[in-house]
A and B are shown apart, each in its own frame.
Chain A
Amino acid sequence: MRELLEILERNSRVSVSELASMLQKSEYEIENDIARLEKEKIILSYGTLINWERFGDDNVVAIIEINLTPQREFGFDAIAERIYRFDEVRTVYLMSGNFDLLVIIEGKSLKEVANFVSTRLSTIDGVTQTRSHFMLKAYKKDGVILDNDEQDRRLVVSP
């Protein structure tokens, strides 16, 4: 099962028949495995990694460090939920160290993101401090180097 997940994590477009061959299972078994993994929410979505900058978009990405006052009974979870339900919020992690939540936000402009932080995030009860860092350039994302010029330099035929 791990091998199936590893293949799909890298390329979710591999066909069921290819997966069946690669993993020495029947297509029926592969379909069942995938259905079960989806049902158990182990497989959550089939995304595509896109270099939006190359496409021409100039979105702004900000990484926000947030300090919280934990709530009785809920700890950080309730506040994290209030934050992650915003569409603008792409990623939320609970962290060890000098701050509590690491939040990644995407917006159309610096102003829009700054606005969102000051009006929506900072104002949430329990948020004591925010520090915003704007991303300047992405080199590698989810294990993929964005501008990779390594290519197949092998001879077409060799012994």
Chain B
Amino acid sequence: MIWSNKLSNSVQSIAPSGIRKFFDIAAKMKDVISLGVGEPDFVTPWTIRESCVYGLERGYTSYTANRGTLELREEIARHYKNRYALNYDVDKEILVTVGVSEALDIALRAIINPGDEVLIPEPCYVSYQACTILAGGVPISVPAKIENEFRITPEELEPHVTNKTKAILIGYPNNPTGAIMERADLIKLADFAEAHDLVVISDEIYGDLTYKGVHECFAALPKMKDRTILLNGFSKAYAMTGWRIGYALSNPDFIGAMTKIHQYTMLCAPITAQMAAVEALRHGEKYMKKMVAEYDRRRNLIYDGFNKMGLNCFEPRGAFYIFPDISSSGLTSEEFAEKLIQAEHVALVPGSAFGKSGANHVRCSYATNIEKISEALNRIEHFLTRIR
């Protein structure tokens, strides 16, 4: 009996992630150095873990309000007020979710009618297109150019606008490129969104991980607060990936609609993770800053390393990825990644996994200690001299 023909068309139309293959190869090797990991190498700071343990001891094991505990929503509101001078209503404009992943999914489902188009600058995080398709929308990929350090411009987006374009989905600082958008870039994008009356979904999960300058929050731009569905979480800045805790901020209509989906599908985010998130916002900043300082040193090391090998790459200004151009090797990014792991046991992710415009690149994560980064750079250099 073949069951696959019972599957929904939308699920069948989604290609499996291009990352899986490298995971399978790497899992069989013992001395792999992985630059392929999309999460911090730090463990969650103890004060955050300890607050969760304390909560469990006192018996905090129940459901919470659908939107999340009042305590956490208040901390999130306070954080955005202090950091970006943004005022979100605790009762109507904040929704605590199970990671940004859930927030992204329900944001798209809340606004998309069948056939609605979503502009998605590429390279981008692997789930943007898939979530759009699952929501019944049509992802319209728009390649960003390395000449612009992978910043997207209205000129590049304009030709893709149709009368079905509903939203634009951006993620800066960017996974996989490490690109950021300066305030001037974002203002152009804001004008574009307003001119075409588009909803902007801004995934700012890496917002706290920026180097040489501060993060510009899209919702904090003039007139953009209500138009934007701002997504953020605790995974990257506070090394809390496994806790699965994120949130969405937007106008009461959007958050209300998202809450409707959330209450019927997820009910609420885990109470333990919500308690930990409160602690992160109250006392986690100094630990976060320490981690950011450490990422910055690693970023400098790996950026120098690739430049010295003659691999063309721009300086990443956010997240913890660097995205060198490997076309000088004569290999495609998949070939490069596969040969590198076989020959030198260094795992990284081919840029093609993040969209066609990443095809000549590989994504290297520097969320790994200095010793391993140095050793990985040596191995990659060895690999390059052999194949060149």
Q: Which residues of A contact B (CB under 8 A)?
A: 3, 7, 11, 14, 18, 21-24, 150, 152, 154-159
Question: Out of B37, B175, B298, B370, which one reaches A157, CB within 8 Å?
Answer: B37
Contact between A156 and B27 (Cβ–Cβ < 8 Å)? yes
Q: Are A21 and B126 in contact (CB under 8 A)?
A: no
Shortest C-beta distance, A19 to chain B (Å), equals 9
Q: Quick check: B34 and A18 within 8 Å, CB to CB?
A: no
Complex interface: chain A residues within 8 A of B353 (CB): 159
Q: Is the CB of B297 within 8 A of A155?
A: no
Within 8 A of A (CB), among B159-184: 175
Q: Within the assembled complex, what's the spacing in Å between the Cα atoms of A156 and B298?
A: 19
Q: Is B121 an interface residue (CB 8 A)?
A: no
Kindly identify which residue among B26, B175, B300 contacts A23, using a CB–CB cutoff of 8 Å: B300
CB distance from A123 to the nearest CB of B (A): 45
* A153 CB → nearest B CB, Å: 9
Contact of A159 among B32, B43, B127 (CB under 8 A): B127
10 shortest interchain CB distances as A-B pairs:
A157-B36, A22-B297, A21-B304, A156-B26, A157-B23, A21-B301, A159-B126, A158-B38, A156-B34, A157-B22
Which residue in B125, B297, B304 is a CB contact (below 8 Å) of A7?
Answer: B297
A23 lies within 8 A of B34 (CB) = no
User: Given contacts A24-B300, A156-B34, could you give 11 more A-B pairs where the C-beta distance is less than 8 Å?
Assistant: A3-B293, A21-B300, A22-B300, A22-B370, A23-B297, A154-B41, A156-B26, A156-B27, A157-B22, A159-B38, A159-B126
Are B26 and A21 touching (Cβ within 8 A)? no
Alpha-carbon gap, A52 to B202, bound state (A): 52
CA distance A24 to B36 in the complex (A): 25
Residues from chain A with Cβ under 8 Å of B230 in the complex: none
CB neighbours of B298 from chain A (8 A)? 22
Given known A21-B301, A23-B297, contact A156–B17 (CB-CB < 8 A): no
The 9 sampled A-B contact pairs (Cβ below 8 Å) are A18-B301, A21-B305, A152-B41, A155-B37, A156-B347, A158-B38, A159-B126, A159-B175, A159-B349
| B20, chain A: closest CB distance, angstroms | 8
Q: Name B's A-contacting residues (CB within 8 A).
A: 17, 19, 22-23, 26-27, 32, 34, 36-39, 41, 43, 125-127, 175, 293, 297-298, 300-301, 304-305, 347, 349, 353, 370, 374
CA distance A156 to B37 in the complex (A): 6
Closest to A14 in B: B370
Distance in angstroms from B15 CB to nearest chain A CB is 13
By beta carbon, the residue of chain B nearest A24 is: B300
> Roughly how many angstroms separate A152 CA and B241 CA in the complex, as a whole number?
13
Residues of A within 8 A of B347 (CB): 156-157
Distance from B239 Cβ to chain A, minimum over Cβ atoms (Å) = 11
The chain A residue with its CB closest to the CB of B176 is A159
Does the CB pair B37–A158 fall under 8 Å? yes
- Give the Cβ gap from A132 to chain B, nearest Cβ, in Å: 32
List the A side residues contacting B23 at CB < 8 Å: 155-158
Chain B residues near A156 (CB, 8 Å)? Answer: 23, 26-27, 32, 34, 36-37, 347
Task: Give the distance in Å from the alpha carbon of A157 to the alpha carbon of B293 in the complex.
Answer: 24
> Which B residues are in CB contact (< 8 Å) with A154?
37, 39, 41
